[in-house]
Chains A and B, each alone.
Chain A
Amino acid sequence: MTNPVVQKLTNLTVLDPAGEEVPMASLWQDRPVLLALIRHFG
């Protein structure tokens, strides 16, 4: 069963550095990921 936090993330999108929208769910579709959320770029 999907983790409830992962379930929330699944419906969200992020931007790549080119400004293109990427569905969050595609990030771990094919392999496990270590996701590091950093505070800011600086």
Chain B
Amino acid sequence: MFCKEQVAQLRDYIPRVHEAGAELIVIGNGTAEQAQWFVEDTGLDVPLYTDPSLQVYDAVEARRGVLSSMNWGTISAALRTFRRGFRQNRTMGAAFQQGGVFVITPGGDMPYRYVSGHAGDHPDPAEPVRAIEQFAATAQSS
């Protein structure tokens, strides 16, 4: 349910991302079939990929483990998410893997990086979107 909440929050910012000449890309870690199901279930209209090997998660140093998945932060986030009407389906992917949000530019820079501390720990989507807009403004003026 955290994932659906995160995708719903990010979706609101897609117009701003596109206006800055960028793209929102979602990466999960289940099978390709599960990725297809997620696209259909959420109606997501941005590119989505999956990394069942978890190598991408390891490269960005995303957290993995039982403690990062079940702690007070997670319980609090679960209550918030449940109140907003999101419900957990069957877990499709690595149950104890955490995620993150990153901005990567064509030049290979990473002006924004947020590694989730626990399940349900997401940044305000406005933060990475601002990083993209700043990059676009700098690229335009140079």
Taking Cβ atoms with an 8 Å cutoff, the residues of A that contact B are: 1-3, 5-10, 12, 14-19, 22, 24, 27-42
- Of all chain B residues, the one with the shortest Cβ separation from A1 is B108
**How far is it, in angstroms, between the C-alpha of A16 and the C-alpha of B44 when the chains are bound?**
14
User: Contact at A36–B56, with CB atoms within 8 Å?
Assistant: no
B22–A36 touching, CB < 8 Å: no
In the bound assembly, the distance between CA atoms of A30 and B57 in angstroms comes to: 23
**Across the interface, do A31 and B21 meet the contact criterion of CB distance under 8 Å?**
yes
Complex contacts, A3 vs chain B, CB 8 Å: 104, 108-110
- The answer on a CB contact under 8 Å between A41 and B35 is yes
Least CB distance from B137 to A in Å reads 12
Q: What would 20 more interface pairs be, CB under 8 Å, given A6-B110, A34-B10, A34-B101?
A: A5-B61, A6-B104, A6-B109, A9-B59, A9-B60, A9-B104, A17-B33, A22-B49, A32-B104, A32-B106, A32-B132, A34-B22, A34-B132, A35-B101, A36-B27, A38-B27, A40-B92, A40-B93, A41-B34, A42-B3
